[in-house]
Structure 1
Amino acid sequence: MSRIRRHTLLRRPARNAVVVGTAVLAAALTACSGGSGGSGDAKGGADISGAKKAEISVNLTGQQAKAGEPVKVTLAGGKLQQVTVTDGKGGTLAGKIAADGRTWTSDRNAAPGTTYAVEAKDDKGSTAKAGFATAAADKVNKLTLVPGKNSTVGVAQPLSIVFDHPVKNKAAVEKQLKVTTSNNTEGSWGWMEDYSGKTRVDWRPKEYWKSGTKVTLNADLNGVDSGSGWFVRDYTTNVTIGKNQVVKVDLDNHRLKVYRDGAVVKDIPVSGGTPGGDKRSWRGKAVLMAKEGTINMNSETVGLGDAYNKMVDYSMRLTWSGMYAHAAPWNSQYFGNTNHSSGCIGMSDANAKELYGMAQPGDPFEITGDETKGPQAVNNGYGEWNLGWEQWQKKSALNGAATSGA
């Protein structure tokens, strides 16, 4: 560790010494002496007898420091008053001074490929500056957040994160995912393999959201090692929960009803999937993933041979495997009386148009019927509502414990 020798100019008023370096903090040099005592002049001077240098050390040094661990600043003598660690983009690492005043430790880890400046002040007013840079990440992990920023969604919409590369350190990642809500909504993270094969984690409330809830997700992942790549930035999204709207589909009676605040606002005759084979519909609680409008539907893409290939209007996706609610005018003779589709929930053009206008991504579709496939898988769209609360909590990497939005 380097040391800086203090130089003193005799018979001049003393000045605070500021030393710039990576590991040395000069003790305050100003001292008042009164009366005829001391070594200063009549105006008072620096009494340096017995003064000692104070030193700091930073655990990360050089230009290739190891990322992924906290920054720690240690003072050899005296007490730290303030420590600031700033990155090259102007961001700061928050941290805490220990009870004995000797050390300061950042709350978060140093991120890879980042330059940091350290400024420390002791309890006597002296300042030291140090700097270091971390080695660049050999592999970077990124993610996709749903819903997007400033979205308004239905009461069943989970917060969902899909990662570009597998996440092996799930607990370390989950600790950095913070959900805050305007009404202290209880919820939990749950890990799964997405339908695409990628790692995914969703945050689901214990019960459907309350309309009007404000939700913020902060993924403070910069500097976290996923186990197959580093995160090199933080992410955030803000969501508002929209109308309290639930769509109930009774395939035994071939009706779709829209409930808003508990009251029926629309009743539509429908036709679901043909019983007895692969064309059956899924049942359980699905979530409206997206309103896709007019799209091409080809049965070969969902393993049903060449049964159909057509443009379909007012398409509302419910699963990744291809179940939609949509207009199906070619099936009009079956609406309200028979399930005779390839798995989707079909209705007239007029009713589909009206439902499409009312629907919100995130609306729950609660589908019942004896002649169905069963509940959709958790990762086939947003199927987590088909698990009980305790089952869902067990999918958290943090001992299966739920988290609450503050």
Structure 2
Amino acid sequence: MSVRTRARTRIRPALAALALCGSLAACSSGAAGAPRATDGTKAPDAPDVPAKVTVVTPAAGRTVTVTATGGTLTTVKVVDTDGGVLAGRTATGGASWVSDRKAAPGTSYRVEATARTAGGKQTTTRSTFSTAKAAQVNKVTLAPGKNSTVGVGHPLSIVFDRPVTNKADVEKQLKVTTSNGTVGSWGWLKDWSGKDRVDWRPREYWKPGTKVTLDATLNGTDSGGGWFVRDYRTGFTVGGGAQVVKVDLDRKKLVLERDGREVRTIPVSGGTPGGDKRSWRGTAVLMAKEGTINMNSETVGLGDAYDKMVDHSMRLTWSGMYAHAAPWNAKYFGRANRSSGCIGMSDADAAWFYAQVRPGDPFEIRGADTKGTVAEGNGYGAWNVSWEAWRAKSAVGR
């Protein structure tokens, strides 16, 4: 009995020591951090395979996408043949990069992308791609002219050469910046020529001194009737002194106001009542000072009523309403409306008035017997639309 008891006493400490050894081996950082082959030797490290970079070649009007598999993108450069950089953003985690702008039609691009693996291996991939040329190209005409100075009523106006059915896509690429945070909105309309047009007008007349800039980042945008293949940038300044011309056809007078104060009252003769020779009412904006021009009644559908050279001509509508010198109507100034639709005045008054006004000055015209209100596309008639109605003409719901 005593012999067996001693044998059990020797075995138990040995088992305890073996169990403790196994526990230490499991917790040892040296044992966990050294993978070993089946023969007990250390296994070789897995190779650091370079990340795979893929450029998703886009069609014109689509963004460029670059992706990395097995690593993260550190830099991506996309440049066209003219040196223009297509900027973009890398997604969180660095697995992909997407251009901010769309690829333009008929353009070749060079892509250089650098990716890094988790182990620090860096690789640079270079590639090129080209987009197909546009079947139809859309262009624009901007007003007012670049670096011009205008009156407080002049909208920023864009007329398109070809139809615009993707109005929201186009409008999103049009950014207006003003020096004083002017509130305004785009509104789509038909120009007098029948072409699509979009104007940006303020809620109220511009403040004198406002500087306005347009950045039209249209390159690569499909208008629905043709592609844009370039960007446009323009700007203008609203001149000092807020001038408004108030025309009362019932009283046959014109008043030039500057900063709310009357500068001068001029007797005038407006369109003849009761027929096609009546004047328009509402707010018309001075489009251009054209000087001495030939006026022919046939061009405005009035037959052979007149064909003469006219001095100090100031265009108010595309349909042919002007303010100008009309010495042949001298006996009617301030007394009766006897013109063929224009606002006529004496040579002396017209010369003085012509020197005072600038394109963009609004003419607020009233009268009982007129042929209607100036339409938005007949010159710059946007001021005849309420602010709420004008905002509703935007394609992006501003």
Same fold, judged at TM 0.5 (above) = yes
Indicate the residue corresponding to 1:376 in structure 2. Answer: 374
Indicate the residue corresponding to 1:355 in structure 2. Answer: 353
Indicate the residue corresponding to 2:187 in structure 1. Answer: 190
Rounded Cα–Cα distance in structure 1 between residues aligned with 2:72 and 2:288: 57
User: What is the Cα deviation at residue 370 of structure 1?
Assistant: 1.1
Residues 294-335 of structure 1, C-alpha deviation per residue, up to 9 Å, x if partnerless?
111111111112111100000000001000000000001111
* Long gaps (5+) in structure 2: 1-43
Letter of the 1:73 partner, please give it. Answer: V
For the Cα contact (< 8 Å) 2:52–2:71, is it kept in 1? no
Indicate the residue corresponding to 1:73 in structure 2. Answer: 66
* Long gaps (5+) in structure 1: 1-46, 402-406
Rounded Cα–Cα distance in structure 1 between residues aligned with 2:184 and 2:333: 38
Name the SS of the counterpart of 1:92 in structure 2: coil
**Equivalent of 1:85, from 71, 78, 98?**
78
**Equivalent of 1:117, from 104, 110, 115?**
110
User: What is the Cα deviation at residue 238 of structure 1?
Assistant: 0.8
**Equivalent of 2:275, from 277, 293, 314?**
277
Letter of the 1:350 partner, please give it. Answer: A
Indicate the residue corresponding to 2:228 in structure 1. Answer: 231
Indicate the residue corresponding to 1:300 in structure 2. Answer: 298
Letter of the 2:134 partner, please give it. Answer: A
For the Cα contact (< 8 Å) 2:50–2:123, is it kept in 1? no
Indicate the residue corresponding to 2:200 in structure 1. Answer: 203
Rounded Cα–Cα distance in structure 2 between residues aligned with 1:52 and 1:262: 76
Alignment length, in residue pairs? 350
Name the SS of the counterpart of 1:212 in structure 2: coil
Name the SS of the counterpart of 2:304 in structure 1: coil
Letter of the 1:275 partner, please give it. Answer: P
Indicate the residue corresponding to 2:29 in structure 1. Answer: none
Residues 44-92 of structure 1, C-alpha deviation per residue, up to 9 Å, x if partnerless?
xxx98531210111110xxxx6211000000112222221111111111
Rounded Cα–Cα distance in structure 2 between residues aligned with 1:227 and 1:84: 30
User: What is the Cα deviation at residue 340 of structure 1?
Assistant: 1.0
For the Cα contact (< 8 Å) 2:53–2:115, is it kept in 1? no
Letter of the 1:103 partner, please give it. Answer: S
Rounded Cα–Cα distance in structure 2 between residues aligned with 1:264 and 1:122: 70
Rounded Cα–Cα distance in structure 2 between residues aligned with 1:81 and 1:212: 45
Rounded Cα–Cα distance in structure 1 between residues aligned with 2:264 and 2:76: 61
Residues 141-180 of structure 1, C-alpha deviation per residue, up to 9 Å, x if partnerless?
1111111111111111011111111111111001001101
Indicate the residue corresponding to 1:144 in structure 2. Answer: 141
Indicate the residue corresponding to 1:23 in structure 2. Answer: none
Rounded Cα–Cα distance in structure 1 between residues aligned with 2:243 and 2:85: 42
Name the SS of the counterpart of 1:357 in structure 2: helix
**Equivalent of 1:169, from 166, 170, 179?**
166
1:253-268 to structure 2, matched below 5 A, reads 253-268=251-266
Q: Which has the larger radius of gyration?
A: 2
Indicate the residue corresponding to 2:35 in structure 1. Answer: none
Indicate the residue corresponding to 1:179 in structure 2. Answer: 176
Task: Give yes or no for the alignment of 1:129 onto 2:118.
Answer: no
Residues 183-213 of structure 1, C-alpha deviation per residue, up to 9 Å, x if partnerless?
1111111111111111111111111011111
Rounded Cα–Cα distance in structure 1 between residues aligned with 2:182 and 2:86: 29
Name the SS of the counterpart of 2:354 in structure 1: helix
Runs of 4+ aligned residues of structure 1 deviating over 2 Å after TM superposition are 47-50, 121-128
Calculate the aligned-residue CA RMSD, in Å.
1.4
**Equivalent of 1:346, from 344, 357, 375?**
344
Rounded Cα–Cα distance in structure 1 between residues aligned with 2:309 and 2:209: 36
For the Cα contact (< 8 Å) 2:253–2:268, is it kept in 1? yes
Rounded Cα–Cα distance in structure 2 between residues aligned with 1:232 and 1:288: 32
Name the SS of the counterpart of 1:353 in structure 2: helix
Rounded Cα–Cα distance in structure 2 between residues aligned with 1:184 and 1:242: 17
Name the SS of the counterpart of 2:154 in structure 1: coil
TM-score (norm 1): 0.84
Rounded Cα–Cα distance in structure 2 between residues aligned with 1:164 and 1:276: 38
For the Cα contact (< 8 Å) 2:108–2:128, is it kept in 1? yes
Rounded Cα–Cα distance in structure 2 between residues aligned with 1:183 and 1:213: 7
User: What is the Cα deviation at residue 107 of structure 1?
Assistant: 1.0
- Percentage of pairs with the same residue: 66
Bigger fraction of residues in helix: 2
Indicate the residue corresponding to 2:27 in structure 1. Answer: none
Residues 233-263 of structure 1, C-alpha deviation per residue, up to 9 Å, x if partnerless?
0011111011311111111111111111111
Indicate the residue corresponding to 1:99 in structure 2. Answer: 92
Inter-CA distance 280–48: structure 2 relative to 1 (3 Å threshold): farther
Rounded Cα–Cα distance in structure 2 between residues aligned with 1:232 and 1:93: 14
